[in-house]
Amino acid sequence: MPEEFYEKLAETRHYIHAHPEISESEFKTTAFIKDYLNELGIEVFSYPLTTGVIAEIGHGNPIIALRADIDALPIIEKTGLDYASDNGAMHACGHDFHQTSLLGAAEILKMREGEIKGTIRLIFQPAEENFQGAYQVIEAGGLDGVSAIIGYHNNPHLKPGQIGLRSGAIMAGVEQFEVRVQGVSSHAARPDLGVDTVLVITSIINNLQQIVARTVSPFQSAVLSVTHIEVGTTWNVLPAAGFFEGTIRTFNPVVRLSVIDKFTKVVESVAAQFGAEIAIKWGNSPKVTYNDEIITPLISEQAKSYSEVIETLPSTGGEDFAAYQEQVPGVFAFVGSNGADHAPDWHHDDFIVRDEALPTAVTYYVESAFKLLGYYGGESDS
């Protein structure tokens, strides 16, 4: 990457980093991206999105989508960087890096427009952190006509120049549950006259821990964590109601459905045993980020020409990129962004992404787009 171009991208990232906006409030970020693309002569389309930008380079089929997320987190930054944010929000997940690399890719693709046989759709997606943005983009028609989609997340545990990839699950399916339990209040000294909500909740939680231990294959994996319980107010009254919440993480769509099904059965049957009423509420969270088994090896093979490709383990975190992969084949990679021994993880107030990682991210977008245009356009070598 020419020095001047690299400097421009690093400067762009620092600007975006210093002006973070949280999910569904990315108004200035949206305006910044639109201006940037306009300046490059790239057509921005008016999709019904409150925040986020969709633009295209080239025309006709096939359409290959490149996606970057643009939102920040409500975290007070403590990196001490000279371009640190001071507005109470922080790009602590590195989405400043993602959108900058897509802007960089856009500039290169625009220069190489003559080579594009089809369309490259750029999706600057809002609201990844609250898992709503991908659904908003799909609802707005942003995935219409798309043959395949490319995305990535920076990974601070890989070095700049490294790309982590695998076919199948690369990020977990996330379930968020909340269970409300309704018993019957009584004096603590007369539990026989009530339905003891405390005992119902603790019994349910004990039984839930049997699901992963005793129904998930030893060759598969899942996590079920209850993280918050509220029940009762004092020592001599058995409370009428309470609730608990938590999360399930899985990496296989079949295991995911099985664990959800068993969860429901355990909660219902234990509550029924005591005569308590229950209501289960599931959050709107992403399914498994599942890399297509046909196109992922193509992208992985090609990435070896410009980066060090690492067969990565899946992350137990979730990504709403999964929503796109439910509709079209997609590839989601990890792009190395730090690699220091104790590099802070995503969502930490001292999280740092290194600019030196930008060229690999830009090349990943550009080369993957051309690879898939060739593949879906019927060329064997592109």
Which position's Cβ is nearest Zn ion? 93
Least Å from the CB of residue 45 to Zn ion: 24
CB of 193 to Zn ion, least distance (A): 49
Question: Is residue 85 within 8 Å of residue 20, measured between CB atoms?
Answer: yes
**Nearest distance from C-beta of residue 71 to Zn ion, angstroms:** 8
| Minimum distance from residue 346 beta carbon to Zn ion (Å) | 5
Would you say 93 or 333 has its CB closer to Zn ion? 93
Residue closer to Zn ion, measured from CB, 93 or 362: 93
Q: Which is nearer to Zn ion, 25 or 220 (CB)?
A: 25
Q: At its nearest, how many Å lie between Zn ion and the CB of residue 95? A: 6
β-pairing, 146-155 with 53-58?
unpaired
Residues 122 and 56 sit within 8 Å (Cβ to Cβ): yes
- Candidates 145, 139, 149; CA nearest to 48 is 139
| Residue in 15, 6, 20, 21 with CA at minimum distance from that of residue 36 | 15
- Contact residues: Zn ion, CB under 5 A: 93
Residue 68 vs 255, nearer CB to Zn ion: 68
- Closest approach, Cβ 73 to Zn ion, in A, equals 7
In terms of CB distance, is 56 or 345 closer to Zn ion? Answer: 345
- The least CB distance from residue 151 to Zn ion, in Å, is 11
Nearer to Zn ion, 64 or 93 (CB): 93
Nearer residue to Zn ion within complex by CB, 58 or 94? 94
Please tell me the distance from the alpha carbon of residue 47 to that of residue 310, in angstroms, as a whole number. Answer: 37
Do residues 202 and 347 touch, judged by C-beta distance below 8 A?
Answer: no
